[in-house]
Chains A and B, each alone.
Chain A
Amino acid sequence: MPRCFENEEGVLSVSINENRQQVTIDANEAAAYVAHKTNEVAAIYPITPSSPMGELVDAWAVVGEQNIWGMAPIVREMQSEGGAAGAVHGTLQAGSLTTTFTASQGLLLMLPNLFKIAGELTSTVFHIAARTVATHALSIFGDHGDVMAARTTGWAMLFGNSVQEAMDFALIAQASTLRSRVPFLHIFDGFRTSHEVMKIEKLTQDDMRAMIDDELVRDHRRRALSPDHPVMRGTAQNPDVFFQSRERANSYYAQTPGIVQSEMEKFEALTGRRYRLFDYIGSPDAERVLVLMGSGCEAAEETVEYLVARGENVGLVKVRLFRPFSCEHLLAALPQAVKTIVALDRTKEPGSAGEPLYQDVVTAISESAMSGDSRFSNTPRVIGGRYGLASKEFTPAMVKALFDEAKKPVPRNHFCIGIVDDVTFTSIPYDPDFSTEPADQVRAVFWGLGADGTVSANKNSIKIIGEETPNYAQGYFVYDSKKAGAVTVSHLRFGPRPIHSTYLIQRASFVAVHQFNFLERYRVLDTAEEGATLLLNSPYAAEEVWDHLPASVQQEIISRRLKLYVIDAYAVAKSAQLGVRINTIMQTCFFALSGVLPHDEAIARIKDSIKKTYGKRGEPVIRQNYAAVDAALAHLQEVQIPAAVTSLFDLPETVPAEAPKFVRDVTAPLIAGRGDALPVSAFPVDGTYPLGTAQWEKRNIAKEVPVWETDLCIQCGKCVMVCPHSTIRAKVYDKPSLDGAPDSFKHMPAKWRELADQIYTIQVAVEDCTGCRLCVEVCPAKDKSHAARKAINMQDQLPIREQERKNWQFFLDLREGGSNLRFNTVKNVQLLQPLFEFSGACAGCGETPYIRLLTQLFGDHTIIANATGCSSIYGGNLPTTPYTVNRDGMGPAWSNSLFEDNAEFGLGMRMAVDQQAAYAKHLVSELTDLIGEALTISLLTVDQSTDEGIKIQRECVNALKARLGGAKSPKVRDLLSVCDSMVRKSVWIVGGDGWAYDIGYGGLDHVLASGQNVNILVLDTEVYSNTGGQASKATPLGAVAKFAAGGKTTGKKDLGISAIRYRDVYVAQVAMGADDAHTLKAFREAEAHTGPSLIIAYSHCIAHGIDMSLGMNQQKLAVESGYWPLYRYDPNLAVEGRNPFQLDSKAPTKLLKDYIYTEGRYRILQQSDPASARALLEQAQESVLDRWHQYTQLAALEPRPLAV
């Protein structure tokens, strides 16, 4: 217990507390820990990379973890960051200590309230995991774009550069805000710091009590809005007083830097860790000094120390307090001898005279010079530049290059570092081989398959090493943008000295490759230093593995003199019944080979951590993992390296030679992980990307793929309908087309009355298939002699890969027939080309089949407005684009604007298209003489409500273009620029429930009320799937989700019924797995309706805790239990005098529990709190029956008799 006391001057005296724990956590957890302890209320909204902070605070509140005043904080998830900011403002105004956590777009949505909170001089700390703001593209990664957008709000901005600082500054900020009444943004870099795991010292509650002055907390309370001592705020003011009032707060801002400084001094007395507003590191008479803030300071510090030790005269100023910006303190921190200051900004402000920190440094230096201050021998020159946007690496090599640049007589200004700018030539080159990585450090890189446990095992290893040895430990994890078959790369460092390396490992002493086929896809050995150890998870034993290595891999092993070990981890996992989770096995091998801990101790520690991690899951799981650990080392083998390369095969090309230029030049390097090397000129100027690039990346991630059996197939088309990735397709074609077919190409006579003598094929793209099995599960055809055999069955992919690759190519080239069919049945729709394929969605995704269907039906005349969420990630995350074009080059135009504005975004598209079409028609009528009467009439009157009509109009427009051909008048040129809009265009507004029910609901509602002809598709997974399962208003009663850890206690919002109230909106609630024909009907009716249409589509999801291969069955259960009634509300029926509400599913035939307890999101509660689960189930069952009753009433309503 520290003894601390304060004298009259407020000087604190303490004895340092030696009883602090060493913990290995990331910055999100460090900040959340302090925030939780020092606040009474939190209102949050998830956004990467800040979401874990809110989740942790919620989890702690759920288990009753108390703050330093003995209360568990109230935590509430809001509908958006705007809502969270509003709620926080309200909480603060009513007197509680409140906080929130956000980043990027979320911080932008809070800006209006930030201005208000500062204007009212309110004490609070918001914790920001600083992230890029979406511009030409969205990025989830880290830079200062968001916080810099907030720099005019009047908030203080305190930057922490590391996990320890994130914990420390959270407390310093809290103490400072209470004393200064200026609200604080506590900032650390998204991902680089927020997700970096480090061993740090955990502050105690006593530390917090020592720093937080309770009297100031009481002052905060005294200022609250309360009827007991009421005041008014938020008045409206006139020109006579606003200005003066604004200036009234000046002294508070003037005092803030001093207050922060004194809180830092108090903190130093408590903990021994010294921070100042600007911290200088380096040679005391440095002539070249870097100035920056954030995690980049760590790498810069490591470089400065390295260079100074080698005699260079350099230094670094770490900016802690960016706002209020104290020029005085900056100038005091700079060495007097400084000649060149290099100011680095981790943001871009196009059109400005310079980025923010640069501008502030220039201001400080200029003001010092202008005031005649003779602090410096000569006024230093300042150069500024940008680095690290969206987590671009910032390495010691770059720092060195900057110091070298600063030596030049005329160094470059307004530069960028870390990329190659071959367009406007702003980039400064650097030597990538320059390294400051110390020799006494273990650096290990692990290549894992997403979800195989590699990352969690590594996080565990860091814990073990960090907490059980005196070593410092750091872990950083690089994830994939794909949600199936993803690759993860873990970077672990251990050493006797503090680790400042805020960059990816460049020279590793240990490289582990947990998936054998990574050797063919990625340059996994790039980071292996000379003599490093390479551990392979290999299906081949030590004696044979060498022959299975590609030639260049063999070469690297030989030339870098690597030591090679193999283990068949999948076999060991299988025998221990661990399925595919090989983590503890590989972890055991790592410890054995790296020698970081003595062998027996390592095993004991691993088992301990297994018990800690899995203890809550039950004995059998623990025993299983122990068995795996014990078996691991027995199966580890060393490989004797031959003297020369023996393999005749090498890494395959990333994309085939026939791929388009853009794919070869840009997409391929991105896929291969070499995107960093691409220069600026390689990229589009405005973020525009071509369609159809996903087809060139053959991922081969499925171990098993479906194989078609022609003797059983009834050609129902259900398999094609449910495929998330468009990898199983059907075509009909004429017999002659079969000429030249590969021998193994399968076909059978087509079974359509309308199609005589046609051939039918179902073909699987085995290199693109994810092996999800949805198609096999939905296939109704069973072998009468062998019921387990269906018309499609899963088989090993590898043996048939080559043959099916040829078959797929042949299939794609076939000219499809069947265009005379009406595409109103599942059977017929299977023949339509999907214009959405091979996305990065999870295997078995429940959303993508609906999108695929959309593109089959309407893709060639549709613009899609897509909300942020899973659908914008699998839809638009580089390197590849899954939306594609048909033979005529037409396909869906697609864009993701933001999260909150998607409905409005789509409405805007509608207005543009409508106006263009109107303008075109206007021009047509003006140019009738030139165009001709007949064509004019066609153009203006064709009925485009059918596919045939659209086709006719296209032909008319083509005819128009031909006729107008050479004419040059402005009107003709304008008409040519808008005539395509006369072909009907559909606008589809697509997004998940997070958008539709929560953050985007205001806009959605406005669009529904507009009467405009837009189609809205809500892919309802009943949870925020993309950001890791936070509850939305679509989450059902009793389901477990983040921010509903004890099961959601409120029911699911009925979005459909709200929309029906408008009476001119077509509304359908569908579930493909329960009734695919109904889903198809709804899509067609929605498109046909000339007004707003809303489809709410049940989408099973990995966040439901289900076997994804049974996803469609879950949909069926949802409908059969009455939980998800299928219906259509068609306003066009009302016009005919009929009841527009049609209930399309039957009365419940199953109990709700027969559906929900097949899903983890309900089972988790059932097993952790059975009493609670029972109560919620009862409630939920009642409400299912109530709602069914209500719907049957609606469906039975007699329409009001029409006036005669």
Chain B
Amino acid sequence: MDLSTEYMGLKLKNPIVPSASPLSRGLDAIRKLEDAGAAAVVMYSLFEEQITLDSFYIAYYLTHGTESYAESLNYFPDVYSYDIGPDEYVNLIRRAKEAVDIPIIGSLNGVSAGGWTDYACLIEEAGADAIELNVYYIPTNPDMPSSEVEAMYIDTLRSIKRLVSIPIAMKLSPYFSSTSYIARRLAQAGASALVLFNRFYQPDLDLERLEVAPRLVLSESDELRLPLRWVAILYGRLPIDFAITSGVHTYQDALKAMMAGAKIAMMASELLKNGLGRIEEILAEMTRWMEEHEYDSVKQMIGSLSQKHVAEPAAFERANYMRTLGSYRTAV
């Protein structure tokens, strides 16, 4: 069975790609992903805040309280150059490229077109095959119009596009007034792919301590349907590839992703929960289903159920909403 696919010009042996997560922390981890059958790896994200924070943190603690009291003019030896942010990451990409054959995609996560975008160059220099840009901004300012928020995304993409020649994928959240519009603008600005959708880790409230507490919850298959819908709507209308992320847990999820129009289906939660063996399992199950249903290849099915190609395109739009509600009542 021909499971191969092509994503941003990269030829992949199958459509399963681990998404940006702790799965790729370290050379051994990346090797394990290749051995487990992953077609490519998206590196864990390099966070803008982390780079900035790390830099400020070290600067702060090396200078805090210094040159004040004569017996202790400083508190730490100052002998090192500090591996601030990108150095370890970039070195890992370099070593990974030497160690594995599958494409390595670097991942940058930030909100501004500040200096951290220079790290895109470092990532390219280290040999990464592509970059995934995760730009998400939580607009808490009621005076900031959506157009300005969108402009941030476009500017960030543009500033990176100026710096590198490897393909850039944009990972988006679903919270746009017009997902179609932002998709088109990003395609225009040079994105080679869109990765739909980023999951926000929403903070929880601790009732006993009366505090806001971070809480990380892994995804479920249910969450697939949102990216599924949008990939299906956008497929074929823009000159870019799509990747679906969040909610891919089973072979059915992967098949649905292909049929909606995604070139790859990205997984993290499933692998974190149930192990890397799931990759081979899902590929095997996909193959079995495709054989049973007499498909020749993944390429054959991509976009087959997209809005362009289904019988009921309106199903993806408002009418679907009414029918869904209606179907629920009937179920009760």
Q: Which residues of B contact A1103 (CB under 8 A)?
A: 72, 75-76
Tell whether, in the assembled complex, residue A614 and residue B80 are in contact, meaning their CB atoms are under 8 Å apart.
no
Q: CA A550 – CA B72 in complex, angstroms? A: 34
Tell whether, in the assembled complex, residue B67 and residue A488 are in contact, meaning their CB atoms are under 8 Å apart.
yes
The listed residue (B60, B74, B83) touching A1168 by CB distance below 8 A is: B83
What class of interface size applies to chain A in its complex with B?
Answer: 35 or more
Residues 79-107 of chain B, each 1 if its beta carbon lies under 8 Å from chain A, else 0: 11111110010000000000000000000
Q: Which residues of B contact A451 (CB under 8 A)?
A: 63-68
Tell whether, in the assembled complex, residue A1040 and residue B63 are in contact, meaning their CB atoms are under 8 Å apart.
no
Chain A residue nearest in CB terms to B73:
A1028
A454 within 8 A of B: yes
B51 within 8 A of A: yes
Tell whether, in the assembled complex, residue A1028 and residue B75 are in contact, meaning their CB atoms are under 8 Å apart.
yes
Tell whether, in the assembled complex, residue B69 and residue A1042 are in contact, meaning their CB atoms are under 8 Å apart.
no
Given the interface contacts A479-B70, A620-B55, does A59 sit within 8 Å of B64 by beta carbon? Answer: no
Q: Which residues of B contact A782 (CB under 8 A)?
A: 210
Q: Which residues of B contact A949 (CB under 8 A)?
A: none
B residues 25-84 touching A (CB-CB < 8 Å):
51-52, 54-84
Q: Which residues of A contact B58 (CB under 8 A)?
A: 617-618, 1160, 1163-1164, 1167
B143 within 8 A of A: no
A96 within 8 A of B: no
Residues 1159-1172 of chain A, each 1 if its beta carbon lies under 8 Å from chain B, else 0: 01101100111100
Tell whether, in the assembled complex, residue B82 and residue A483 are in contact, meaning their CB atoms are under 8 Å apart.
no
Tell whether, in the assembled complex, residue B70 and residue A48 are in contact, meaning their CB atoms are under 8 Å apart.
yes
B148 within 8 A of A: no
Q: Which residues of A contact B75 (CB under 8 A)?
A: 1028-1029, 1102-1103, 1105
How many of chain B's residues have a CB under 8 angstroms from any CB in A? 40
Q: Which residues of A contact B88 (CB under 8 A)?
A: 1170
Tell whether, in the assembled complex, residue B72 and residue A1027 are in contact, meaning their CB atoms are under 8 Å apart.
yes
Chain B residue nearest in CB terms to A62:
B79
A665 within 8 A of B: no
Q: CA A198 – CA B54 in complex, angstroms? A: 34
The listed residue (B61, B68, B79, B210) touching A486 by CB distance below 8 A is: B68
Tell whether, in the assembled complex, residue B68 and residue A1042 are in contact, meaning their CB atoms are under 8 Å apart.
no
Shortest distance between the CB of A1059 and any CB in chain B (Å): 29
The listed residue (A55, A140, A617, A621) touching B70 by CB distance below 8 A is: A140
Q: Which residues of A contact B79 (CB under 8 A)?
A: 59, 62-63, 1045
A581 within 8 A of B: yes
A residues 456-496 touching B (CB-CB < 8 Å):
456, 477, 479-483, 486, 488
A1011 within 8 A of B: no
Tell whether, in the assembled complex, residue A1160 and residue B71 are in contact, meaning their CB atoms are under 8 Å apart.
no
B291 within 8 A of A: no
B118 within 8 A of A: yes
B115 within 8 A of A: yes
User: Main secondary structure on chain B at its contact with chain A?
Assistant: loop
A58 within 8 A of B: yes
Q: Which residues of B contact A52 (CB under 8 A)?
A: 73
Tell whether, in the assembled complex, residue B68 and residue A1029 are in contact, meaning their CB atoms are under 8 Å apart.
no
Tell whether, in the assembled complex, residue A620 and residue B56 are in contact, meaning their CB atoms are under 8 Å apart.
yes
Tell whether, in the assembled complex, residue B77 and residue A1045 are in contact, meaning their CB atoms are under 8 Å apart.
yes
Given the interface contacts A1163-B58, A1167-B82, does A1042 sit within 8 Å of B66 by beta carbon? Answer: no
B292 within 8 A of A: no
Q: Which residues of A contact B118 (CB under 8 A)?
A: 619
Q: CA A1160 – CA B77 in complex, angstroms? A: 12
Q: CA A784 – CA B55 in complex, angstroms? A: 38
Chain A residue nearest in CB terms to B88:
A1170
Tell whether, in the assembled complex, residue A1164 and residue B80 are in contact, meaning their CB atoms are under 8 Å apart.
yes
Given the interface contacts A621-B56, A787-B211, A1168-B83, does A480 sit within 8 Å of B76 by beta carbon? Answer: no
Q: Which residues of B contact A1027 (CB under 8 A)?
A: 71-72
Q: CA A1169 – CA B60 in complex, angstroms? A: 19
Given the interface contacts A619-B115, A1029-B75, A1164-B80, does A479 sit within 8 Å of B63 by beta carbon? Answer: no
Q: Which residues of B contact A1043 (CB under 8 A)?
A: 77
A455 within 8 A of B: yes
Q: CA A889 – CA B78 in complex, angstroms? A: 48
Q: CA A1043 – CA B77 in complex, angstroms? A: 8
Q: Which residues of A contact B72 (CB under 8 A)?
A: 1025-1029, 1103
A623 within 8 A of B: yes
Given the interface contacts A59-B79, A1167-B84, A1168-B81, does A617 sit within 8 Å of B69 by beta carbon? Answer: no
Shortest distance between the CB of A1038 and any CB in chain B (Å): 14
Tell whether, in the assembled complex, residue B68 and residue A621 are in contact, meaning their CB atoms are under 8 Å apart.
no
A990 within 8 A of B: no
Chain A residue nearest in CB terms to B211:
A787
A842 within 8 A of B: yes
Residues 229-258 of chain B, each 1 if its beta carbon lies under 8 Å from chain A, else 0: 000000000000000000000000000000
Q: Which residues of A contact B60 (CB under 8 A)?
A: 579
Shortest distance between the CB of A131 and any CB in chain B (Å): 11
A267 within 8 A of B: no
Given the interface contacts A1102-B65, A1164-B82, does A140 sit within 8 Å of B77 by beta carbon? Answer: no
Q: Which residues of A contact B57 (CB under 8 A)?
A: 1160, 1163
Tell whether, in the assembled complex, residue B52 and residue A620 are in contact, meaning their CB atoms are under 8 Å apart.
yes
A residues 189-204 touching B (CB-CB < 8 Å):
191, 195
Given the interface contacts A616-B81, A1170-B83, does A1164 sit within 8 Å of B61 by beta carbon? Answer: yes
Q: Which residues of A contact B71 (CB under 8 A)?
A: 48, 51, 140, 873, 1026-1028
Q: CA A59 – CA B77 in complex, angstroms? A: 7
Tell whether, in the assembled complex, residue B83 and residue A1028 are in contact, meaning their CB atoms are under 8 Å apart.
no
Q: CA A867 – CA B88 in complex, angstroms? A: 44
The listed residue (A453, A618, A1102) touching B55 by CB distance below 8 A is: A618
Tell whether, in the assembled complex, residue A1160 and residue B210 are in contact, meaning their CB atoms are under 8 Å apart.
no
Residues 297-325 of chain B, each 1 if its beta carbon lies under 8 Å from chain A, else 0: 00000000000000000000000000000
A669 within 8 A of B: no
A531 within 8 A of B: no
Given the interface contacts A620-B115, A621-B59, does A1167 sit within 8 Å of B65 by beta carbon? Answer: no
A411 within 8 A of B: no
Residues 594-637 of chain A, each 1 if its beta carbon lies under 8 Å from chain B, else 0: 00000000000000000000101111110100000000000000
Tell whether, in the assembled complex, residue B69 and residue A450 are in contact, meaning their CB atoms are under 8 Å apart.
yes
Q: CA A341 – CA B52 in complex, angstroms? A: 65
Q: Which residues of B contact A1168 (CB under 8 A)?
A: 80-83
Tell whether, in the assembled complex, residue B66 and residue A1160 are in contact, meaning their CB atoms are under 8 Å apart.
no
Shortest distance between the CB of A782 and any CB in chain B (Å): 5
Tell whether, in the assembled complex, residue B67 and residue A455 are in contact, meaning their CB atoms are under 8 Å apart.
yes
Shortest distance between the CB of B308 and any CB in chain A (Å): 45
Q: Which residues of B contact A1026 (CB under 8 A)?
A: 71-72
Given the interface contacts A1103-B75, A1160-B61, does A616 sit within 8 Å of B68 by beta carbon? Answer: no
Tell whether, in the assembled complex, residue B77 and residue A191 are in contact, meaning their CB atoms are under 8 Å apart.
no
Chain B residue nearest in CB terms to A1159:
B61
Tell whether, in the assembled complex, residue A618 and residue B85 are in contact, meaning their CB atoms are under 8 Å apart.
yes
Which among B55, B68, B85 has the greatest number of chain A C-beta atoms within 10 A? B68
The listed residue (A483, A488, A1167, A1169) touching B54 by CB distance below 8 A is: A1167
Q: Which residues of B contact A616 (CB under 8 A)?
A: 80-82
Tell whether, in the assembled complex, residue A480 and residue B67 are in contact, meaning their CB atoms are under 8 Å apart.
no
Shortest distance between the CB of B305 and any CB in chain A (Å): 46
The listed residue (B54, B70, B76, B114) touching A191 by CB distance below 8 A is: B70
Shortest distance between the CB of A296 and any CB in chain B (Å): 20
Q: CA A52 – CA B61 in complex, angstroms? A: 19
Q: CA A873 – CA B52 in complex, angstroms? A: 37
Which 6 pairs, one residue from A and one from B, show the smallest C-beta to C-beta distance?
A: A450-B68, A618-B55, A1160-B61, A1028-B72, A455-B67, A1168-B80
Give me 15 other A-B pairs in contact (C-beta within 8 A), A481-B69, A1028-B71 excluded: A52-B73, A450-B68, A453-B63, A454-B67, A456-B63, A479-B68, A479-B73, A488-B68, A579-B60, A618-B58, A618-B82, A1028-B72, A1040-B77, A1163-B58, A1164-B82
27 pairs, A vs B, C-beta closer than 8 Å = A59-B77, A59-B78, A59-B79, A450-B68, A451-B65, A455-B68, A456-B63, A481-B69, A579-B60, A617-B62, A618-B82, A619-B55, A619-B118, A620-B114, A784-B210, A787-B210, A873-B71, A1027-B71, A1028-B74, A1028-B75, A1040-B77, A1103-B75, A1105-B76, A1168-B82, A1169-B80, A1169-B83, A1170-B83
